[in-house]
Amino acid sequence: MVENSFKRYNQKIKEFEKLKTETYQYCLSGDTRTIDIVLPLSKKQKYFADILNRQKNSGIFSSPPYVDLIDYHEQHAYFGFERKDELETGSLLKGQGREAPKSYAEGISDILNNCKKYLKESYNVF
Ligand SMILES: C[S@@+](CC[C@H](N)C(=O)[O-])C[C@H]1O[C@@H](n2cnc3c(N)ncnc32)[C@H](O)[C@@H]1O
C-alpha cells in the first residue's frame, strides 16, 4: 500500500512539472494551525510577501488530512521531510475512538482560523 502511494506521488510530481505555469509560488512547510506565512516568506521573497500583505489571498485549495485513516509520516520520510507526527491533524496514531472526530474538527477549525488572517474579505476554500 505504501509502495502504491509513493508511485502515485511520483506520478503527481511528473504531471505537475508539465502543468505548472510561470507564476510566483513558494512552498512553506509547517503546522497550518499556527504557521505565519508572511514572515518566513518576507525573508525569502520580500516582493512576494509585500504583495501578499497588500492584496491578501483569494482562497485556499487544499487536500486536507483524513481523520484516523492514513499514516502520512512514512510518505514524508520517503521524500526526506522531517517527521512531525505529534503535529498531525487527524492522526492515525491518536486512535479511532470517540474523541478522534472531535479532535479532528477542532484541528481543522484551528487551521481555518489561522488561514483567515491571510484571506481577503471575500474568499473561496476548496
Ligand atoms: C490528504 S494529504 C494531502 C497531501 C498532498 N497535498 C497531496 O495532495 O498529495 C494531507 C496532508 O496534510 C498533512 N497535515 C496534517 N496535519 C497538518 C497540519 N496541522 N499542518 C500541516 N499539514 C498537516 C498530512 O501530513 C498530509 O501530508
77-90 mean pLDDT: 83
pLDDT reading at 12 higher than 80: yes
Find the range with the poorest average confidence among 70-84, 85-99, 107-121.
85-99
CA angle 57, 113, 103 (to 5 degrees): 135
Instruction: Provide the β-strand partners of residue 125.
Output: 60
Higher pLDDT, residue 32 or 100: 32
pLDDT reading at 83 higher than 90: no
| Residue of 63, 62, 65, 42 lying closest to 52 (CA atoms) | 42
Band of residue 29 on the pLDDT scale cut at 50, 70, 90: confident
Give nearest CA residue, ligand 1 atom 25.
72
- DSSP H helical segments within the chain, as ranges? 2-19, 38-44, 46-55, 73-78, 99-116
88 within ligand 1 shell (Cβ under 6 A): yes
Give nearest CA residue, ligand 1 atom 3.
63
Higher pLDDT, residue 4 or 7: 7
Q: Quick one: pLDDT at residue 1?
A: 60
93 within ligand 1 shell (Cβ under 6 A): no
pLDDT reading at 87 higher than 90: no
**CA 93, 94, 98, 103 torsion-angle sign:** negative
